[in-house]
Amino acid sequence: MFRTWIFSEFGYPFHPPAHLVMENRVNLPSKYFDPDAGYELYNKVFDLYRAADELGMDVMVNEHHSTSTCLNTCTPLTLSVLARETKQARMLCLGNPMAHRPDPVRVAEEMAMVDVISGGRLDLGMIRGVPQEHFATNASGIDMKERLWEAIDLMIKTLTTHDGPFSWEGEHFHYREVNIWPRSYQQPHPPLWMSTLSAESAADLCDRDFTIATLGNGWAGCAAIFEAYRKRAAELGRPAPPAEKFAYSPLMYVGDSWEDAKAGIKKVLVWAHEQLRSPSHFNDIPGYMPAQQRAMLAKVRASGGTATLPSLIRMTEAPLEELIAGGEVMAGTPDMVFEQLRDFHDKVGGFGNLLPLVHFSTMNLDLVVRSMERFATDVLPRFREEVYGPTVRGDREMLVGA
Partner 1 sequence: MESVVVGGVEFAIDRRGSGSPVLYLHGDNGLRNAGLLDRLAEHHEIVAPVHPGFPGSPVSLLVDTVADIAFVYAELVEQLGEPLTLVGASFGGWIAAQLAVTHPAMFAAVVLVSPLGIKTRDRETRDFVDVYLTPHAERPSLFYGDDAIAATVTAVSDEDFLHDVICEDAIARYCWKPYMYDPKLLARLRRIAAPTLVINGAADRFPLDPSYYATFAAAIGDNAHRVTLEGGHRLDETSPSDVAATIEQHLASALGLATTRKGV
Residue whose C-alpha is closest to residue 214's, from 125, 293, 290, 147: 125
In three-state secondary structure terms, 359 is strand
Q: What sign does the CA torsion over 114, 115, 116, 118 have?
A: positive
233: left (phi over 0), alpha (psi -120 to 50) or beta: alpha
- Which of residues 30, 292, 319, 394 is near partner 1 by CB under 8 A? 292
Does 22 bind partner 1 (CB under 8 A)? Our answer is no
Which residue, 56 or 286, is less far from partner 1 as judged by CB?
A: 286
Helix count and strand count (H, E) for the chain: 16, 13
Please provide residue 118's backbone torsions phi and psi, each rounded to the nearest 5 degrees.
-85, 0
Asked if residues 121 and 92 have their Cβ atoms less than 8 Å apart, the reply is no
Which residue, 279 or 389, is less far from partner 1 as judged by CB?
A: 279
- Which of residues 296, 313, 399, 400 is near partner 1 by CB under 8 A? 296
User: Smallest distance, Å, CB 276 to partner 1?
Assistant: 16
User: Smallest distance, Å, CB 306 to partner 1?
Assistant: 11
Amino acid occupying residue 293 = Q
Stretch that binds partner 1, among 181-189, 216-224, 289-297, 350-358 (CB under 8 A): 289-297
Stretch that binds partner 1, among 55-63, 114-122, 139-147, 189-197 (CB under 8 A): 139-147
Amino acid occupying residue 171 = E
- Which of residues 299, 306, 317, 386 is near partner 1 by CB under 8 A? 299
- Which of residues 88, 179, 187, 280 is near partner 1 by CB under 8 A? 280
- DSSP β-bridge partners for residue 174: 169
Q: How far apart are the C-alpha atoms of 151 and 195, rounded to whole Å?
A: 16
Does 38 bind partner 1 (CB under 8 A)? Our answer is no
- Which of residues 247, 268, 285, 380 is near partner 1 by CB under 8 A? 285
Q: Which of residues 77-136 bind partner 1 (CB under 8 A)?
A: 134-135
Length of the chain: 402
Does 29 bind partner 1 (CB under 8 A)? Our answer is no
State the residues that interact with partner 1 by CB under 8 A: 26-27, 134-135, 138, 140-143, 279-281, 284-287, 291-292, 294-296, 298-299, 301-302
